[in-house]
């Protein structure tokens, strides 16, 4: 299966997150088969990350969005963890600080985008400004319209500067969310993650789905595509994310840089030093 | 063996890097034994990092310094890689940019120190300002004196704010460096890392060792100790770094935070939602 084609939000065709069966695994039900495939993908990603880092020309931005308990942390802990921290950063965007809130909605985001050779993971992102702020009517419709356009323009600037952008909506059902909240309740080590507001946000589920629909359809572009990942099944979710990342990084086609040395000259220096002469 | 005590630069006792046998392994010569011990340390570090992250009160700063080919990258790739990128950042300090150079020597450093709950790895650091800048006489002796004091004061501010600081000098011999340069020459994938200047810096070996001696002796403090790791043997170096990190993180003694929820109330919300009532 071509995960990339299967889950991309086609810029020319409307997608509706409400029509997607979040529990589907497309025949990928054998844990060991998935684990083996994932391990292979991880090796490919590590190899490609090394080349992106060495090449020092392009960069990769990975955006994760999901409802609470949708698996953003899990995807980082199980897939993205494998990337080398030299050249890979992870940035969470929580409720804006006073300083952040005193600027435009892209200010705090722009500061954190990847530089050349870097991979950056956004755990939540600028899309919060057209999701939570829309659902809670913190942003008038007219400004919202401007934000979609501003996001596309912003991402185009990044893409033109050599940043590959890939955006994942980890899509779980309302029932799956409740199940995961229940599991957190059963695990004292996870109690600190729970807040009452999680339950309050559940009441806005349909509004969130409508907000995701607009964000995904209006901001899935050739240069910064959205992917909707059926994410009730964690193993399948991990596999799907890794498959799409492998394809994205392969498209970047990073090249080991030419050595900027005269190998013969270096060899001469080396042998001089090895023979005890000062070098 | 207590690696922490063995390799710490005692604030009250002069250390001399020139007197240290960089090839010693203190009886740790069995690859499998080292690998098993390292794997155990990694699990402990991961568990403690999770707690530091959840606790969200303290932070950890790991400084790596070494001569070229001394193993900074290798230590990151083989030991520190295992930390969760959510809550762990790696920052390399190269030749200062124009903007960086237009500020004091701690400006670019201060911006990157860990916030609460974070682990940050410095691949090179503010110590470059008392190493390379001293060796190449870019910094007069009088200013150098001020810098040592400024560093101690700066690190004290961080420590007072809840940052544990641990600084590693990965110490290789001049011969070991040459051997590693030779290995890079033999591996085309590593050619992009080689520059002629590596060989030029070798000529200043003794000056560097004198500079390290002063930096380590003057800036090893109770709140920010230096460790000199015999690093000719990569496996032993990895093990030693992991042992000292485990001890440092244990001393931090991070605690899982109290859940800021009323578990009974959450359970009520959960059961109401599970029974099909809107919640």
Using a CB–CB cutoff of 8 Å, tell me whether B174 touches chain A: no
**CB-CB: which of B199, B263, B279 is closest to A202?**
B279
Domain total in chain B:
1
pLDDT at A279: 44
pLDDT at B279: 44
Work out the average pLDDT over A137-150.
94
H-type alpha helices, B8-83: 31-55, 72-78
Is A279 within the bounds of a domain?
no
| Domain range enclosing A267 | 3-274
Complex ipTM: 0.78
The chain B residue lying nearest A89, using CA atoms, is: B89
Name the pLDDT band for A193 (thresholds 50, 70, 90): confident
DSSP A254: -
Q: Which two tokens stand for residue B62?
A: 């790991």
List of long-range contacts for A156-162, beta carbons under 8 Å, 24+ apart = A156/A221, A156/A223, A156/A224, A158/A61, A158/A113, A158/A224, A159/A223, A159/A224, A162/A57, A162/A58, A162/A59, A162/A116
Residue A261: is its pLDDT beyond 90? no
d(CA A229, CA A227): 6
pLDDT at B108: 96
Residue A277: is its pLDDT beyond 90? no
Residue A260: is its pLDDT beyond 80? no
**CB-CB: which of A86, A192, A269 is closest to B76?**
A86
Q: What is the largest CA-CA distance in chain A?
A: 76
| Burial class of B76 by CB neighbour count within 10 A (0 to 12, 13 to 18, 19+) | buried
Q: Which two tokens stand for residue A278?
A: 């000062």
Name the pLDDT band for A40 (thresholds 50, 70, 90): very high
pLDDT at B167: 98
Which CATH number belongs to the domain containing residue A225 in this structure?
A: 3.40.50.300
pLDDT at B277: 58
List pLDDT tens digits, range A195-249: 888 888 999 999 999 999 999 999 999 999 999 999 999 999 999 999 999 999 9
List the Cα angle A55/A124/B271 in 5-degree steps. 145
Residues on chain B touching A182 (C-beta within 8 angstroms): 270, 274
Residues on chain B touching A203 (C-beta within 8 angstroms): 278-279
The chain A residue lying nearest B47, using CA atoms, is: A189
Q: How many helices (H) and strands (E) does chain B have?
A: 12, 5
Is B88 within the bounds of a domain?
yes
Residues on chain A touching B73 (C-beta within 8 angstroms): 86
Residues whose CB is less than 8 angstroms from the CB of residue A13 and which lie 6 or more positions away in sequence, other chains included: none
| Segments of chain B scoring below 70 in pLDDT | 276-279
Residues whose CB is less than 8 angstroms from the CB of residue A110 and which lie 6 or more positions away in sequence, other chains included: A154
The chain A residue lying nearest B267, using CA atoms, is: A185
Is A31 within the bounds of a domain?
yes
d(CA B190, CA A227): 36
Closest among B19, B11, B25 to B226, alpha carbons compared: B11
Of chain A, the percentage scoring pLDDT greater than 70 comes to 99
Residues on chain B touching A117 (C-beta within 8 angstroms): none
> How distant is the Cα of B11 from the closest Cα of chain A, in angstroms?
31
Residues on chain B touching A259 (C-beta within 8 angstroms): 191-192, 194
**CB-CB: which of B81, B92, B199 is closest to A84?**
B81
Is B279 within the bounds of a domain?
no
The chain B residue lying nearest A93, using CA atoms, is: B86
Is B29 within the bounds of a domain?
yes
Q: Annotate B211-227 with DSSP letters as a single string.
A: HHHHHHHHS--SSS-EE
d(CA A68, CA A47): 32
Q: Which of residues 224-253 of B touch A (CB under 8 A)?
A: none
Name the pLDDT band for A39 (thresholds 50, 70, 90): very high
Closest among A71, A112, A79, A14 to A229, alpha carbons compared: A71
Cβ(B123)–Cβ(B200) under 8 Å? no
Is A48 within the bounds of a domain?
yes
**CB-CB: which of A76, A85, A89 is closest to B76?**
A85
Of chain A, the percentage scoring pLDDT greater than 90 comes to 82
B209 backbone dihedrals φ, ψ, rounded to 5°: -65, -40
Using a CB–CB cutoff of 8 Å, tell me whether A279 touches chain B: yes
Is B224 within the bounds of a domain?
yes
pLDDT at B269: 80
Closest among A59, A100, A53, A17 to A224, alpha carbons compared: A59
B135 backbone dihedrals φ, ψ, rounded to 5°: -60, -40
List pLDDT tens digits, range A208-219: 999 999 999 999
Kindly determine whether residue B259 and residue A192, on different chains, have CB atoms separated by under 8 Å. yes
Using a CB–CB cutoff of 8 Å, tell me whether B90 touches chain A: yes
List pLDDT tens digits, range A69-104: 999 999 999 999 999 999 999 999 999 999 999 999
E strand or H helix at A136, and its extent?
none
pLDDT at B188: 83
Kindly determine whether residue A270 and residue B181, on different chains, have CB atoms separated by under 8 Å. yes
Residue A276: is its pLDDT beyond 80? no
> How distant is the Cα of A118 from the closest Cα of chain B, in angstroms?
12
List pLDDT tens digits, range A104-143: 999 999 999 999 999 999 999 999 999 999 999 998 999 9
Is B143 within the bounds of a domain?
yes
């Amino acid at each position: 299966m071509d995960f990339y084609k299967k889950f991309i939000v086609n810029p020319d065709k409307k997608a509706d997150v409400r029509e997607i069966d979040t529990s589907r695994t497309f025949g990928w039900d054998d844990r060991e088969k998935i684990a083996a495939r994932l391990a292979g993908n991880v090796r490919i990603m590590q190899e490609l990350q090394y080349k992106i880092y060495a090449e020092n020309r392009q960069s990769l931005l990975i955006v994760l969005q999901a409802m609470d308990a949708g698996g953003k942390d899990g995807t980082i802990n199980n897939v993205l963890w494998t990337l080398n921290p030299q050249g890979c950063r992870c940035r969470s965007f929580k409720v804006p600080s006073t300083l952040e809130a005193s600027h435009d909605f892209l200010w705090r985001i722009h500061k954190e985008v990847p530089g050349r050779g870097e991979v950056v993971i956004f755990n939540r992102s600028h899309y919060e400004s057209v999701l939570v702020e829309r659902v809670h009517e913190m942003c008038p419709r007219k400004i919202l319209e401007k934000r979609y356009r501003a996001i596309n323009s912003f991402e185009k600037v990044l893409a033109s500067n050599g940043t590959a952008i890939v955006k994942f909506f980890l899509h779980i059902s309302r029932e799956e969310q409740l199940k995961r909240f229940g599991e957190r309740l059963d695990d004292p080590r996870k109690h600190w993650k729970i807040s009452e507001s999680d339950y309050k946000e559940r009441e806005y589920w349909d509004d969130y789905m409508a907000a995701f629909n607009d964000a995904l359809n209006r901001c899935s572009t050739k240069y910064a595509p959205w992917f909707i990942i059926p994410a009730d099944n964690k193993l399948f979710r991990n596999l799907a994310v890794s498959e799409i990342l492998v394809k994205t990084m392969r498209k970047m086609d990073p090249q080991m840089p030419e050595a900027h040395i005269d190998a013969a000259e270096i060899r001469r220096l080396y042998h001089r030093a090895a023979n005890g002469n000062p070098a």
